[in-house]
Structure 1
């Protein structure tokens, strides 16, 4: 379980450090947009009150707490599920990615009332309106890793 904890802590720290830097140090909160390598990589401030792509974002305070509770419940379930029986190192790493990312977004909801999204990637001719963050990348990667690698050769 040490590997799960290390990945979760690392992702959580990287996510929160990147959000602090973008929101407070370079003041993306006020500037709203910074073109880094247009159109491939841009910083676009977005406060996501829902889940991916703004789903379930109705702006109510109760939904904020429902999403916090859901993220904590899923993180807890994944932790105990991985702990319950032997899994490969890649499954433990995937669980840590998912848990660290989920907890990073939970802290945003507690501190800001919404998740701070700021990474935006597009291609020439197609303007992607959505932003994401390090936690979102970790959650997605961790979830895919759990699906793909669970049930394979189980080693501790």
Structure 2
């Protein structure tokens, strides 16, 4: 498959899955946790909230100008640069390329929400009995997080591979 087509399809897929999930949540749930759905008892729940901030609501209390700069303009510039980087850098391995596409797709999906709705729709919540608990998040957040984890893993394993190759040479 053409590399640019692969990038475009993967980014579009990430955006589409996120936006479809948010449309379903907005049309079928009650906002604010009043209509929470226990998917797996209290461990995994759907709770619809609107987030004016970034990750875990950070920045939601900023004045509107700062929120515009830090949650809309800067992320848009960074996402545009990452898209340029992945299209122009032909040496990226497939896993890094997938990781960057997940980050860009998730980022664009949340920026889209901020532009269209002024806030981001979140709805997933995990609570593993106090051992592990998340804030409320969405599919775009999962895409970005997955991309970051993949980049971290490719960085770790490529360094180990480089070290092994250096020791052999």
* TM-score where L is the length of structure 1: 0.85
More helix by share: 2
The 10-residue stretch of structure 1 (33-42 or 135-144) with the greater mean CA deviation from structure 2: 33-42
Residue 4 (structure 1) aligned with residue 7 (structure 2): yes
Residue 76 (structure 1) aligned with residue 62 (structure 2): no
- 1:19-71 deviation per Cα after TM superposition (whole angstroms, max 9, x unaligned): 000111x1333744222222121111221111111112215322442211122
Structure with bigger gyration radius: 2
State the aligned residue count.
Answer: 152
CA distance in 2, matches of 1:22, 1:42: 12
Deviation at 1:6, TM superposition (A): 1.4
Question: Deviation above 3 Å: which 4+ runs of structure 1?
Answer: 125-129, 150-153
* TM-score where L is the length of structure 2: 0.79
Residue 48 (structure 1) aligned with residue 38 (structure 2): no
1:130-145 matches, cutoff 5 A: 130-145=135-150
Secondary structure of 1:45's aligned partner: strand
Higher relative contact order (CA 8 A, sep 6+): 1
- Unaligned 5+ segments in structure 2 are 162-169
Secondary structure of 1:145's aligned partner: helix
Match of 2:17 among 14, 17, 24: 14
CA distance in 2, matches of 1:78, 1:87: 12
Q: CA RMSD in A?
A: 2.3
Residue 103 (structure 1) aligned with residue 108 (structure 2): yes
